[in-house]
């Protein structure tokens, strides 16, 4: 009986730590729970862009924050801004992932030198 309780306790600790490690990217280490983004602790789908903007202000503010510091007139890609593109505002989860590596949608056609968080 004692061994069964010990094994069960160890399994519970491992599953709890596995859940905590699932939050990655820019939010890793911020002590978030599922509900912080998903509005529930038992999510069934991704948060919406509206959920993201509750903490990240507005799409315009993101565009300003990610504007390039130096633009080389000879290199048109140096002016690239993932939040201010010809695609307009797109859903955050097209690029940003929390439970898997993020992917830059722009990279489907372009070869910019920035990585999504």
In the chain the domains, ranked by start, together with CATH numbers, are 34-117 (1.10.1130.10)
Q: In terms of pTM, does the model score above 0.95?
A: no
Residue pLDDT, tens place only, 64-91 = 999 999 899 998 888 899 999 899 999 9
Residue 60 has pLDDT above 90, yes or no: yes
Q: Nearest CA to 81 among 63, 93, 104, 101? A: 63
Residue pLDDT, tens place only, 41-59 = 898 888 999 999 999 999 9
Least confident of 21-25, 45-49, 80-84, 96-100: 21-25
Indicate the burial class of 48 (C-beta count within 10 angstroms; 0-12, 13-18, 19 or more): middle
């Amino acid at each position: 009986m004692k061994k069964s309780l010990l094994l069960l306790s160890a399994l519970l600790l491992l599953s709890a730590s596995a859940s905590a490690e699932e939050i990655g990217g820019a939010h890793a280490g911020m002590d978030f729970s599922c509900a912080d983004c998903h509005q529930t602790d038992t999510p069934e789908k991704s948060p919406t862009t509206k959920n993201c903007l509750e903490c990240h202000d507005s799409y315009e503010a993101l565009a300003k924050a990610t504007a390039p510091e130096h633009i080389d007139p000879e290199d048109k890609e140096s002016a690239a801004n993932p939040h201010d593109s010809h695609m307009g505002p797109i859903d955050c989860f097209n690029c940003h992932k929390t439970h898997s590596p993020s992917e830059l949608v722009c990279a489907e056609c372009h070869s910019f030198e920035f990585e999504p968080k």
